[in-house]
With several copies, the nearest count.
Chain A
Amino acid sequence: MNTQLEKAIIIKNEPWTPEYYLLEFSAPGISQKAAPGQFVHVKIPDRRDILLRRPFSIFKAESGTLSILYKSVGRGTRHMAKLHAGQAVNLLGPLGKGFPIPDTNKKTLLVAGGYGMAALYLTAARAQTPGLLFAGGAGKKDILCAQDFTALGWDVRLATEDGSCGTHGLVTNILDAWQARNGKSSEPELFACGPMGMLKAVAQRAKEWNCTAWISLDHYMACGMGACLACVQKINRDGEERLACTCKEGPVFEAREIIWEES
């Protein structure tokens, strides 16, 4: 395993969209090892009352620099938004089993919601051939980094629930539309990260279309190392039903393996 603890130095911490921040670190160790879909576990500096680390998908990782896109939603991320360049932040990573390398015999379809676009960026950046990104959200503000995918030569299709950007509707609508038109000509391979409802919908599509879908799950985590069992997901792998640690065996699972809870 190549997980390490690293004292990363903040290069930049600035608003990226109205809701998300870009946090860029100098973290030569972790950035070098980072694979698509993996995450880092961030210790909130100077706040010993905030005990648990916070998990964030690795957005970019190159030449010693690591970045994440995070939304300020609670006490940990609110404190993160106050950090400034030069400060040291303790990172644990890279963690987890991320996305596999896209199968070049298939059509690579990324499906993203919320921070999912960040989580999927490295998959696109390191894919041999560009594919398509379907990204959605409530509105324009939820579309995080379409331009980064476009710059890689990817075909970016957007959908927002309020119609403020791209097609009016859910991201699965535009995915379905694509499938209806192209599904026969090329077998898709799906890579998804986003809200639970979207993930379930993507898993549903994979089943209907009889294709592979890689799903990145988001459960609450304490250790990030497979030790505390906070983050388990019921899966069926090789015919055996069991609980897998999302932090270690995930966050990415094949859709077929995942045994969804009723809710």
Chain B
Amino acid sequence: MNQPDLRVNLAGIAMKNPVTVASGTFGYGPEYADLIDLNRLGAIVVKGVSLNPCPGNPLPRIHETPAGMMNAIGLQNPGAKAFIKTYLPFLANYDLPVIVNIWGRTIEDYEGVAELFEGEPGVAGLELNVSCPNIKEGGNSFGTHPDLFEQVISAVRKKTTRPLLVKLSPNVPDITVFAKTAEQAGADGLSLINTLPAMAIDVETRRPRLANVVGGLSGPAIHPVAVKLVWEAARAVNIPIVGMGGILDPEDALEFIIAGASAVAVGTATFHEPTTVLRIIEGIEEYLLRHHLKSIAELRGTLKTGAR
């Protein structure tokens, strides 16, 4: 039988398959390059980059939870210029669309970093991480306040011609409000979900497990939450969606696609098993073959919710 067509055009980013990696879990490219052939990925989403270097949070930065983990890395990164100098040339060696996850603490920060990447041919698209507090607006998160959310997307949209994905925060009562706002503000696609706000305490010392007190929960524990949000968002907008949150097995990725995602990203599972992303690609292909589907597009958004 013919191999199914795994290709996806994600908001203008040509992916050879629908599988990428979640920002912050795969570094900037070189980290896993000796274990995993990067040419096999549909795309790479690099760790969040900001205009200026950022030292991140004090240690401990991670804590394991049942079927999940919490992190409060604090978006440590070398800054956009160092990223461009150190990592873009490395990534240029691969046949691999590079999606740069960007963030800031003010709208100007976001604009600045988006602008910097305009001149970089090695960048296929931008992913806007809006789960940061706006330090000018009293620390309200860009990702959970509709006004700030709209403003930051509109601002960045004016500064970039690249495909622009907006990464949604799961921490809202109605994801469709944010999905639609992003679409209207000019987003070319959505990524979801980011981590769930969480906390853990060492009861012996009565101290938080993370130096930052609060962190983001990821991993299989949150997968059912992510599937629900992807399904709701996919029905609310006409732009493509990258589904992520807790993918460990191919079935987890397929759930996102059936719920309406065009692509998926593997995050925390890479720490468990670095080859997960490859196993997901293979598993999706095997599934399409077994179900006689000619392309991934034939599977997308085909959830049957009618009477049983």
Contact = CB atoms under 8 A, between A and B. Distances in A.
Interface of A: 1, 3-5, 43, 48-53, 90, 92, 219-232, 243, 248, 261-263
B62 A230 contact: yes
B102 to A, nearest CB: 17
B60 A223 contact: no
Nearest to A74: B64
Contacts, number: 99
Contact of A52 (B58, B59, B272): B272
B219 interface: yes
B76 interface: yes
A226 B275 CA distance: 16
25 contacts: A4-B35, A43-B273, A48-B66, A48-B220, A48-B248, A50-B64, A51-B64, A51-B219, A51-B271, A51-B272, A52-B64, A52-B271, A52-B272, A219-B60, A223-B25, A223-B270, A225-B31, A225-B35, A228-B24, A228-B71, A229-B47, A229-B61, A232-B56, A232-B76, A261-B59
A227 B32 contact: yes
B58 A49 contact: no
B304 to A, nearest CB: 13
B268 interface: yes
B34 A226 contact: no
Given A51-B69, A261-B58, A227 B25 contact: yes
A3 B273 contact: no
A248 B219 CA distance: 23
Going nearest first, the 10 A-B pairs with the smallest beta carbon separation are A227-B27, A227-B31, A230-B62, A49-B67, A222-B271, A1-B34, A226-B31, A51-B272, A225-B31, A230-B61
A37 B272 CA distance: 23
A5 to B, nearest CB: 7
Given A48-B248, A52-B271, A3 B66 contact: no
Contacts of A248: 31
B197 interface: no
A3 B35 CA distance: 8
Does more than half of chain B's interface fall in helix, strand or loop, or is it mixed?
A: loop
Interface residues of B, number: 38
B67 A48 contact: yes
Contacts of A51: 64, 67-69, 219-220, 268-269, 271-272
Nearest to A241: B55
Does more than half of chain A's interface fall in helix, strand or loop, or is it mixed?
A: loop
Nearest to B65: A51
Given A51-B268, A220-B60, A3 B34 contact: yes
B274 interface: yes
B25 A228 contact: yes
A230 B71 contact: yes
Contact of B26 (A227, A232, A243): A227
B31 A222 contact: no
Given A4-B35, A227-B25, A243 B271 contact: no
A240 to B, nearest CB: 12
Contacts of B274: 5, 92, 223, 225
Given A51-B271, A222-B69, A222-B271, A232 B59 contact: yes
B110 to A, nearest CB: 21
B290 interface: no
B38 interface: no
Nearest to B64: A52
Interface in B1-28: 24-27
